A and B are shown apart, each in its own frame.
Chain A
Amino acid sequence: MWFPTRTIIKQAASSLALSMLMLLPTAAQAERIFVSNEKDNTLSVIDGETLEVIETIPVGRRPRAMAFSNDGSQLFVAVGDDEAIDMIDLDTLKVVRSLAAGEDPEVIRVHPDRPHIYVSNEDDNIVSVLDYQKRTRVTQIPVGVEPEGLGVSPDGKWLIATSETSNMAHIIDLETMEAVYHRLVGARPRHVEFTREGDKAWVSAEIAGTVAIIDMQDTFDVIHTLEFEVPGVPRETVQAVGMELTSDGRFAFVALGPSNRVAVVDQQSYEVLDYLLVGQRVWHLALDADENRLFTTNGVSGDVTVIEIEGDEGDFEAIRSIPVGRFPWGVVVAP
C-alpha cells in the first residue's frame, strides 16, 4: 500500500537535514572579538562562544584604534609609533600590508560607502583621509589642536573630529572635506558616536567626565550635557571615554575610565540608569552583532569584561573578565 504521507515525511526529513547542513558552517563561525594591546604590540582575538583568547596577532608598535573595511575582509589597526595603519586579513589573521598614516595616528574610522579611512594625527593638528584600496592619501583636513576622537555619520555625510586641547568638536562636511561647524564641548574630548539614525552625535570628554549631545539635523549645537556621579567614587576618577549606542535607540553605554564603571544611559531621556563594575581604567567598548553583549577594555587590569545586556537595565550583568595583553585599548567585534 502506498502512503503519500510517508513520502512527504521523507522529503521533509531530507530537506531538514539539508538545511541543518547548510546551517552548520554559520553556526560554527562564532563571533571574534579583536582587542588592541597598546603595550604588547599585539591584538588578542577572543572567541565569542568560549570567551577565551584563541589567537594573538603581532602588529606594529603601539596599536590603538581599529576599524573594519567595508567588505568586512580586513581589519585596520592604527599603530601610532610606526606612524602607520596595519591591514590585517581576517581569514589568515596576518598583517598583509601597512599604510603610511602620518604622525602618531591614534583614532581611525572608515566611511560607510567609500574606501576611505579617517585618521586623527594628533601632532599635526589634521585629520588625514586615506584610500585603503589605492593606498594613497586623499587629503588632509585641518582641525583644532591635538585631534583625537572621530565619528562618521551613518549616511556618510558628516565626520566629527574632536580636538583635545581646543576642547572642540569640529563638524566636517564629507563632500567638501571642510570643517563647517565648531562646537565647544567638555575638557579633553575623546570619542564620538552617532545614533543609528544619525540625528544626534554623542561626544565624550575625558577630564570633564561629561558627554555632549549634538543635534545633527538642524542646529548642530550641543543640546544636552550628560554628567556622571558614581556613588562612593571620587569625582576626578570619573572620566568619560569610549561609548556605544544600541541601534534600537534605547541604551547608551559610556566607559568611565579609572572609576572602573560603565554607565548605562537612556538614549532618549538621557537619564543615567546604572553603573556597572568592570576592570581597572575602562577605556573603549564594543557591542556584538546582536547587541546582547558589551565588551570593555580595561587598560590597567589588562583584561576585557563581558557584560550581558539582554532585557532591561536591571538585568545587565558583567559575567566574565578575560585576561588579554598589557594595556588593552580598543575593541571591535568582527561582523
Chain B
Amino acid sequence: MDAGLVRTYLGVPLYRPKVAFFEFSSCEGCQLQLLNNESSLLDFLALVDVVNFREAMKEKADDYEIAFVEGSITRSDEAERLKDIRSKAKVLVALGSCACFGGVNQLKNRFSLDWVKKEVYGNSPVETEPVRPLGDVVRVDLKIFGCPVKKEEVEKIVTNIAVGKAVAHPKYPVCTECKANENICLFDLGEPCLGPITRGGCDSWCPNSRFGCWGCRGPAEDANVEQLKKIMKEYGFSEDTILDRLECFGGFSAFADTLRKSGEKNKGTSA
C-alpha cells in the first residue's frame, strides 16, 4: 500500500500502529496462527506496521506502540524482559491462554519446583519459578483468549483497533455458539465438556470436531461452575475428570483450587 496515503474509514483516519510480537514460555502456536492464512495476511499487514516479529521477519526495532505477548513467565529474566516491553509499549496485549492465565505451563505449579526440575531437566537443572500469567508481572491492557488464539478473532480485534472500534469479548459460554453450529451435545455422546462455563468466541472450535471443551478461554461471565460440577457427577464423570479440565489452562484456577482443597479434605475425612 502507498505509504504516504492515510487511509480512512467513514472519513475517520485509520490508526496504523507499530506493533511487535514477543514470546515467553510457550509453543509460539498463537503467533503461528496469525501467519497461517495467506488470503488475509496482506490485509492484516496493511492495518498494522509490524516492527518486530521473530517468527516472520529478520528486522527488529524497539519502537512499537502495541506489544502482542505470547507465553507465560517462568524465569526471573523473563519477568525483567516483560517489564522492559511494558515500558516501551503503549498497549500490551496478552496473546493466548499462556499469557492470559499461565496456560498449560501452569500445571507445573501443582508440583514442587525441585521435583519439576528433576523430572524435566534431570541432572542438568535450569532456573525455574512458579508459572505466572503476564498480568501477575505487569499491567495487561487487553487479553486475547484461546489455546491457540482464533485467527479470525485476532483479525477482528486488530481491524477494530485500526478503525477505532471497541474490542468486546463474548460474555456467554461456548454452548451458545456450539448450539448455533448444530453440534450434538457432547454430554449426549458421553463425553465431558466445559462448554457450559467457558467463555465463547472460539465458535465452539473443539466441539465442532466432537472434542469436549477444556476451558482454554477461561470462565464465561457468570459461569455456573458449581452446577456443572453437579452435572458432571450425574453423568458419571469423576471429580478428577472435572479437575483435570478446570486446571488445564489456568483460567479456572480459583475454582480448581477450591475443588482440589475440598477433594483433599474429603479424602482426609474418609481415610
* A, B assembled together: no
What is the interface of chain A, defined by CB distance below 8 A to chain B?
none
Residues of chain B having any CB pair with chain A under 8 Å: none
